[in-house]
Amino acid sequence: MVDTIVFLVAAVICLTGALGVILARNPVHSALMLVMTLFGIAVQFVSQEAHFLAAVQVIVYAGAIVVLFLFVIMLLGVDTAQNLEIGALPAQKWAALCFGVGSLALTGYIILAVDNPVTGRPGMGGAIDETANVRLLARSLFSNYVYAFELTSLLLVIAVIGAVVLARKPVKQLPEEAGR
C-alpha cells in the first residue's frame, strides 16, 4: 500500500517536472522543473533499494549538473523571454507528433503484450544479496567493470580539458595588429 502511494506521488512529480521542462518559456523555470524531476527519480531509486544511486543522483545531477545549467543561463543572459519559441521548422512539429504518438503506442503495446518484462536470466553484474548496496555496487564496479571505470575517469579528465579549452575568451588583438 505504502509502495503504491510513494510510487504514484513520485511519478506525478516526475511527469509534472518533465512537462514543465519542455513547456516552460523561461529557461530558468525549465531548469527548476528539471530539478523536480530529478528528485522524483531519486525517490523512485530509493523505493527500488538503489540507495547509493539515489544519493549520487541528487548530489551529481541535481546538485552539480543543474547548477552548471543555471550558471550558464545566468552567464549568457538568456533568462529573458526572447529566445523561447517553440516550433519554426515546419517538419519538426509533425516529426515530434509522430515520435510521441508512435512511442506511446509502442510502449502500450509492449506492456499489454508481454506478461513478464523480465527474462529471469542472470546478468553479469553479480547477484544482489543481503550486503549493503554500496558494498555490492563497489564490488561489481571494481572487479567486473574496472576497465570501464578507468576509462570513464579518463573521460572526465578529457571533458574538463575540453571545457576549459572551449570556453576560453578569445585572445584580444593588440591595437597595432588590428590595423593590418
Burial 54-83 (b: 16+ CB within 10 A, else e): beebbeebbeeebeebbeebeeeeeeeeee
Interface characters, 156-175, with other proteins (x: CB under 8 A): x-xxx-xxxxxx-x------
Q: Say whether residue 141 binds other proteins (CB under 8 A).
A: yes
- For residues 8 and 4, what is the distance between their CA atoms, to the nearest angstrom? 6
- For residues 95 and 88, what is the distance between their CA atoms, to the nearest angstrom? 13
Helix (H) or strand (E) holding 80: none
Of the pair 92, 173, the CB lying nearest other proteins is at 92
Of the pair 73, 171, the CB lying nearest other proteins is at 73
Residue 97 C-alpha cell reads as 507528433
Measured at the alpha carbon of residue 70, what is the angle toward residues 64 and 76, in degrees to the nearest 5?
135
Q: Say whether residue 18 binds other proteins (CB under 8 A).
A: yes
Q: Which of 9, 72, 74, 132 binds other proteins (CB under 8 A)?
A: 72
Q: Which of 9, 63, 74, 100 binds other proteins (CB under 8 A)?
A: 100
Q: Say whether residue 92 binds other proteins (CB under 8 A).
A: yes
Q: Say whether residue 145 binds other proteins (CB under 8 A).
A: yes
| Cβ at position 45, least distance to other proteins in Å | 6
Taking the CA atoms of the chain, what radius of gyration do you get in angstroms? 22
Q: Say whether residue 62 binds other proteins (CB under 8 A).
A: no
Q: Which of 81, 90, 124, 175 binds other proteins (CB under 8 A)?
A: 124
Total residues contacting other proteins by CB under 8 A comes to 96
